Structure 1
Amino acid sequence: MAACPTVGTAVDVNLKQYNCVQNFFFHKIQFSNMDPSICNANGSLRSWMGLKREVSCVLISAVDECKRLSFQKEALTQQCHELEKLVETLRGENTSLQLELEQARCAQNQTIMDSTEHDISANLLLSSAETGLPGTAAEIPMSPTVASVRIGQLRDQLTKLRNELYRVETEKEEVKIKLADSQTTVEGLRQKCDLLMRKSEEAVHLKDELDIAREELAAASHLTTTMDQLRKRADEAVELRVRCAKLETDNKVLVDRLAELEQETRLTGHVRSQAETQRLQAADARQAATQANARADAIEAELRRVRDELSATMREKTRLVTELNRLRSCCEQLQRCAPPASALNEELTTVEPDANGMMYTPAMQSQMLTLREELTRLRTSLSSLEIAASTSVADEDHHSLSEHDGSRVMQTSDFPDNSSNLMDNDRHGTSDGTSSPLHMSATKSEDFDGHLVASLRGQLDEKDRAYESMEQQYRGYLWKARSLIRSLQRQLRKQDENAGVANEGSNDVARLRALLVEKERIIENLERHLEQTRLRRDAEERILLAAWYNRGVRQTRELVEQRIRDQQTQPGPPGTQPKTAADDATTGAEEMSFLERQREIHLKPPRGLTSVVVASK
């Protein structure tokens, strides 16, 4: 009972305090909606800012008070729910106890009636036993034996009835005791019920007060939201006035920066075009390498064909040599088998002397002429075959040498000097950076970025030198492989000229095929490594481009923020120089590394003017 007036008094006090704060608020808002030019004309700008701070403090205290009242409301609501649950439980217990009380009363009445009936029946039995005249039965004559038996039965019944009477009286006493206990319990429950009824009435009263407080809190929250909106509008009006004064000056800076960004975009487009040309050159180089491989395959097929023709010509040569030897032997046999001059008188008349003084018959001369013609024909065919074989071998060697020189020139053209392009890009970037007017922080960050870019350029130059040394090493490997292939081809030609055994020739062919497969595998590995190096170089170029772009964005953002902060800084006491945002920016840029600055730029963007003003309040 004592808690209800206390809570009501606390709610009344809070409502009065809230009404006072609300009235004070309305006065302050009316004062804050005044034109700031009037305050500036009166020289009370500082008092204007103080009043705004005071209004914000009062607003914060009112919000805290509203939160506290909402918490109290929730606590009281919870207590009311608990009291309602307790009242319901007590009502259920009261009804159950009333039912038990009614049952006990009914049982008591029943026991009383039973006891009275037993008393009456016992008295009747006693009277009948003493007089020996049991009502209507007394008129019937009985023998002494039957009467004695009847008397014994009546005595037994009397004993049983006395025991039953004693038991009923004890039960009656117990029921009386239970009735007294139940009456005391009912009295206690009645008192509890009265107490709970009073508490329920108090809870209803508190619920009504809570409803009133809830309505007032809703009105207060509505007023709070209205005040927040008014405060935001006032802040936005102040910010708009400040920003309108600065937009004209910032517009020119942004236009200049836009021109710089367009120039940087052109530079990045130039770099991208260079990267695209390098990719196209790489594709052309791959196509040229494919064509060179196809030409090498065609040359190898031609070489095999020439080798087959050479082996056929060698077989033809051996056949012609054997035929020539046979013809020579035939000529010698003919010379030996010529008839004597004494036996051929008729033929001597027609024989003409030879240049050596020998005498031949016309038949022998005709046969000798045919043999000489065939010999000259065989010699000319042999010489032509030897010349064709030598020219084919020379053409093959010359083609392999020209192919090697062409592949070297192609590989050299595939690797353009990217360091010169990077130096040109850096030179353009530095000339653009020096032409733009930047602050001391921008120059320091630019020097740091220059050192970082120089270190990255040194690393790229070292990698380029390593790639060039590796490329020279691979070229040496290719040259050694090709020289080994040529030496093996010479050995194969020598073996073919010597007409070695067929098994040895097949082994050499298998070995040469294995060497050709190994050469193709080496060429594929070199092409794969070349592709990996190109991909790595493209990735490094993308990293450099991203670094340049982030550098330009960061410098622009720092310049804009620096100008905004310089315009927002207020003058300090005389004799002290205020610390500008440029000093903070330079110290922060000196303390943070390149990756931390990039992370700060991308993950934590700067706040706008609205957030800055709200945070300052």
Structure 2
Amino acid sequence: MRRLSRSEGTSPRANWNYSGSISLQYQPFEVEETVASPPPPPFKAGAKHEIESMSPLMCWLQTFNTTAPCKDVRDLTTGAAMAQVLHQIDAAWFDESWLNRIKEDVGDNWRIKASNLKKVLQGIMDYYHEFLGQQISEELVPDLNQIFEHSDPTMLGKLLQLILGCAVNCEKKQEHIQNIMTLEESVQHVVMAAIQELKRALEELQEALAEKEELKQRCQELDLQVAALQDEKNSLISENEVMNDRLDQLDGSLDDPNTVVAKKYFHAQLQLEQQQEENFRLEAAKDDYRVHCEDLEKQLVELQHRNDELTILAEESRALKDEIDVLRMVADKASKLETTVEVYRKKLEDLNDFRRQVKSLQDTNMMYMHNTVSLEEELKKANAARAQLETYKRQVKELHNKLSEESKRADTLAFELKRLEEKHEALIKEKERLIVQRDALKETNEELRCSQMQQDHLNQTDASTVGSHENLAAEILPVEYREMFIRLQHENKMLLLQQEGSENERISELQEQLEQKHRTINELETEKSVNLCRLSASNKLKQKLEAHMEKLNKVHDELQKKEALLADLQPDLNQNTQKIEELEVALCKKDEDMKAMEERYKMYLEKARNVIKTLDPKLNPASAEIMLLRKQLTEKNKRIEALEGECKLAKLRDYEEKLIVSAWYNKVSIVVLGSRARLLLLDSFKYPIANLVHWN
């Protein structure tokens, strides 16, 4: 035998504990009638309720994989589905040969239905009698005529109840119990009730059989006593006949009183009379004893009734003692509960203080959460600022490098411009000198031409005229001297020109050296200014970085302290995980937007650089390029400030959402604490009842 216990309080599935026996109660079953053809036979007055109360066993029966349908009452009246279920319950007993005897294609043939149901019922009876060693009472045996003629749900429920008993008593009982455990709780209750009803009927049948065996044994004893008394009666009758024969023989000899026989006869007659008197006396005593015995029997009956009453009273007294023990335990528990109630009253009196403390703790918690969120925001801002600072450092370094290059380029261009201006001035001077020299050469050429023309004119004149002129020229200046004078003047001019050219070359060399020195000085001054700017910028950046690092360290320390306090005050924040993830997703989206905007800014900056590079440097001097870069830098700073403002607004929105979430969480925790306190107060006035359903 086995026992399954089900403890209440576990919903929706019941806890089944196997311990060796079954104890359940039968309750009506529920099922819906859905068959449309043939026309259903008329049911009794309570048929609808019985059909509705049969569905749990139908649900249990449908857990078996049967080829035959078992959805309604008419499907079960064929007997095929129940036979297949029995085959699955115990395939060794209800084997294939037995299953093949059950016909599935029944239709409306009530004879085949009756044959199938008789075979199923006979198989169940044999299984209970031979395999389980149990007898089934007539109350549990269903009327098959009512099933296949009228589809009586009561009789069908009895048959399903017997099948359920086979399932919970077979070798695979644990598997079937597990299948029952998978059903709904209401179905489990009904199945448990059915098994308990079946078990109680079987126990009553066993008690009746035991009583029958006892009565049978008593009848056998009485039969033996009757047989012994009959034998004794027969022996006495035979002895009486023998004595009558002897008496008849002795009648003749009794007439003579002198004979020994007559004497013995008279003596025996006297003894007989004495015995008769004694018999009469004994009869009277017997009557007295009979009356006394009847009185004693009456007294015995009265004593038995009184004994029964006393037994009932003893049982009642034992029950009362048990109840007294229970009440004593309840009284002890009540006293404990009274003390607990007093404690809770005191706690309720202190509840206002606790509420104020809770409110202050909530305010402190909110403040800590606010500080934590602000510190987290500051930490995120510091991290973002650190990354942005690195980016700015890199960009500033690039801009400084570019500025130094542009400064060098500007200085070089300025120096080249100055050098070109000086060359221009030198060329202008040289041009003026060449103009002067050209004028001198023109004058010389004119003089030479005039002299040549004079010479030709002199050759063509007549002698007189020549003589007069020669005398005049001789008087004035000879031709050789004049030619020599012109040649010397020309050489003098050429020497002057050579001297001026050598001096100009030396001056140009000195000017080039001077320009080189100036260029070197300008480059050094430019590098010096750039280095000074870099040094000042690096010092400022170092100071800012140190200030930010100190602030960041302070923020880290405060954040660690706040995290420790927050971990002590709020050890479990799993309920905010989803909201935090959403906020993180939003923050990631904001970061992606920021990155996209930075990428767009870099792209625009690169485009601007490309535009600047494509422009003609002659049309865009270095100062204009530097101003353009400064303008772009200011625009970039403005854009960065605008993005920082948007980021702050986004962080403020995230912080407001976090505050709302934390307030909701605190409210829920307070409501849960209040409900728990109310439940504790309610449970303190109730008795803990452990309702267990045992399967005996």
Q: Mark yes or no: TM-score above 0.5.
A: no
Instruction: Indicate the structure (1 or 2) with the bigger Cα radius of gyration.
Output: 2
Structure with greater helix share of residues: 1
TM-score (norm 1): 0.32
